[in-house]
Copies of this chain bind each other. A is one copy, B any other.
Amino acid sequence: MAKTNPGRFFEDYSVGQILHHAVPRTVTAGERALYHALYPARHALYSSDAFAQACGLPGSPIDDLAAFHVVFGKTVPDVSLNAVANLGYAEGRWLKPVYAGDTLRSVSEVIGLKENSNGKTGVVYVRTRGLNQRDETVMEYVRWVMVRKRDMDAPAPDTVVPELKKVLAPEDLVVPAGLDFSSYDFALAGEPHRWGDYAVGETIDHVDGVTVEEAEHMLATRLWQNTAKVHFDLTFRPEGRLIYGGHVISMARALSFNGLANAQMIVGLNGGAHANPCFAGDTIKAWSEVLDKAETGVPGVGALRLRLVATKGGAPFDLRDAAGKYQPGVLLDLDYWALMPL
């Protein structure tokens, strides 16, 4: 009897199936410090307890994307070990900040299945929730991946494609309880620009770049207990380890501090594409576009819908070619909502 996990194949999923993902994780001040060592993260709410307390929170939370990576990492052995491609994200929401000492686990529900016409692979849609030690959902998101079939002769399941929101509405966003920007210190935060200073359609080149090293992305990916072989084993992929897409997301978000220092909290993930693979030696830069603006109903707290693009070359703001294909230097095209002082 084989003791090791071969991962699930396409025919192992059924709509409505609940996957209780393994290995809960207590996140601590250690994860927090490592996040700041791995990424040039400077958003003040995640850097300083005193700043977070002045904003009405009990202390500085673990970075929203770190929480996402922990929740996501647990799903890999059950969802994407035999995946060919990570196709998309939707309806991602951060519902409660995560603090040092919280223990996170993940549960997914299969919400859609569609076999591809080649009969060799299919698309699996899962809605994943991250829960803390009080069984509160701290975040949730939908993800769909292309997964191999084990047995090419296995019958195709009924096609179920979930209806997913292209964009979360402002009323879908959850502002953390107690968040209060009325005594927000713009000087300590690093920039004077408030919600009212950003215009829909505005683009920002975040200027700075980081050339990525193998040791760093492996440290990060392991910290989130993401076990996908391609990120670690050079014999598996001698031309270079494929860098975990989440590493690019976090790097780009951190770089976006320069121009978006007050886009403090990520509360919604509308969608995202890993447009091209990233390898060690690539220099990641980032630019943003303001896609929308909304009030949140909470006094003083506005929401910005932002496109965050990570690149490894090419000019800023050059996203797609004439045919609509991502430019070869584009790594990531992410669509998210962030909270900012009005």
Q: Give residues in A with beta carbon < 8 Å to B.
A: 1, 3-5, 20, 22-26, 28-34, 36-40, 42, 44, 47-51, 60, 77, 100-101, 103, 105, 133, 187-191, 193, 197, 204-211, 213-216, 218-220, 222-223, 225, 227, 229, 232-236, 241, 258-261, 281, 283
Contact B30 A48 (CB under 8 A): no
Contact A218 B223 (CB under 8 A): no
What is the CB-to-nearest-CB distance from A227 to chain B, in angstroms, rounded to a whole number? 6
Contact of A222 among B38, B48, B105, B260 (CB under 8 A): B38
Contact B216 A219 (CB under 8 A): yes
Q: A28-B33, A235-B283 are in contact. List 14 more A-B contacts (CB 8 A).
A: A22-B42, A22-B189, A23-B189, A31-B33, A40-B222, A40-B227, A42-B225, A49-B101, A49-B133, A209-B229, A210-B218, A215-B216, A227-B258, A234-B283
* Given known contacts A23-B190, A29-B29, A190-B77, A233 and B209 CB-to-CB distance under 8 angstroms: yes
Residues of B within 8 A of A234 (CB): 211, 281, 283
Residues of B within 8 A of A223 (CB): 33, 36-37
* Given known contacts A22-B261, A219-B38, A223-B37, A5 and B191 CB-to-CB distance under 8 angstroms: yes
Contact A28 B29 (CB under 8 A): yes
Residues of B within 8 A of A227 (CB): 40, 42, 208, 258
Contact B47 A25 (CB under 8 A): yes
Q: How far is A241 from B209 in the complex, measured between Cα atoms in Å?
A: 12
Contact A36 B205 (CB under 8 A): no
What is the CB-to-nearest-CB distance from A338 to chain B, in angstroms, rounded to a whole number? 14
Residues of B within 8 A of A33 (CB): 28-31, 33-34, 223
Residues of B within 8 A of A222 (CB): 36-40
Residue in A40, A189, A241 whose Cβ sees the most chain B Cβ within 10 Å = A40
Residue of B nearest to A228 (CB): B208
Residue of B nearest to A281 (CB): B234
Q: How far is A129 from B210 in the complex, measured between Cα atoms in Å?
A: 29
Q: How far is A258 from B228 in the complex, measured between Cα atoms in Å?
A: 12
What is the CB-to-nearest-CB distance from A308 to chain B, in angstroms, rounded to a whole number? 14
Residue of B nearest to A236 (CB): B209
* Given known contacts A31-B30, A50-B26, A258-B4, A235 and B219 CB-to-CB distance under 8 angstroms: no
Contact B260 A233 (CB under 8 A): no
Q: How far is A37 from B70 in the complex, measured between Cα atoms in Å?
A: 12
Contact B23 A188 (CB under 8 A): yes
Q: How far is A261 from B191 in the complex, measured between Cα atoms in Å?
A: 43
Residue in A4, A51, A77, A227 whose Cβ sees the most chain B Cβ within 10 Å = A4
| Chain A to chain B contacts (Cβ below 8 Å), 28 pairs | A4-B259, A5-B191, A23-B42, A23-B48, A23-B188, A24-B188, A25-B47, A26-B48, A26-B50, A28-B29, A28-B32, A30-B32, A31-B33, A37-B219, A40-B225, A49-B103, A49-B133, A77-B190, A208-B229, A209-B229, A210-B218, A210-B233, A211-B233, A211-B235, A211-B241, A213-B214, A215-B215, A234-B283
